[in-house]
Amino acid sequence: MNECIARALVFSGRPDPTWKIEEAIVKELQKIWDSLVPMQREPPSAPPLGYRGCLIKCNSDIEWYIYKNLVTLKRSGKTESRDDSCRKFEKLVISSAPKGLVPSSLIEDECGQID
C-alpha cells in the first residue's frame, strides 16, 4: 500500500503539522501532477521564516515539494518541477489535513487566500 505523509512547513521551533494522506487523495494528486506542464518561468522561492510549502513523502520512494505554483517531484533520485498556476495541488494537500491542524492564517499571510 502506498502510504503518504504530508508535512506543512510553517514552524521553526515547534514540530510542523504532519498528517497521513488517504490513498484516494494521492491518486487525485497524481492526476493533477500528470496534467501540469514543466516549469519554464522562475520558480517562487519561499522565505526562510513563515510558510515554506508542503512536503509529501510516500513509502514508494516518491517525494513532492509544493510551494505556491511550484510542484517538484523526486523519484528514484530524479527531480522534476512543474507549474501549477492555479495552485490546485497545494490546495488539495492543505485541504486534506485534519481540521484545525494547519494554521491557515499563517499560510494566507504568505500566499494570499488558499481556499
Partner 1 sequence: MEVYRRCFFMCMVISLEKDLLIRQLVKLSKNLSAEVQDTFEEFVCGSTGLITRLKLGKEFSDFVLEEIERLKELRFLLDPQIIELREKRLSAWWPCRWWCPCYWWWWRRCKCAPLYEPIWWNDSGQIQYNNNCYNYATNYRTDTYAQPGEAANAKWTNLSACDVPSPDISAKMGAISDCLIDAPAADNRCPSKGHLVALVIRPGNMYTWDYHWYRKGRNKYWSHKPGGTPVTNLDNSGNAISDPRTADRGGYTEFCTFMKVMHGHIKIK
Burial class (CB in 10 A: 0-12, 13-18, 19+), 110: middle
**Residue 14 binds partner 1 (CB under 8 A):** yes
**Residue 13 binds partner 1 (CB under 8 A):** yes
**Residue 98 binds partner 1 (CB under 8 A):** no
**Residue 47 binds partner 1 (CB under 8 A):** yes
- What strands, in cross-sheet order, belong to the sheet with 18-21? 18-21, 4-8, 54-58, 62-67, 70-75, 78-83, 37-38
Among residues 19, 30, 81, 103, the one that binds partner 1 under rule CB under 8 A: 103
Contacts to partner 1 by CB under 8 A? 7, 9-16, 46-50, 52, 100, 103, 105-106, 109
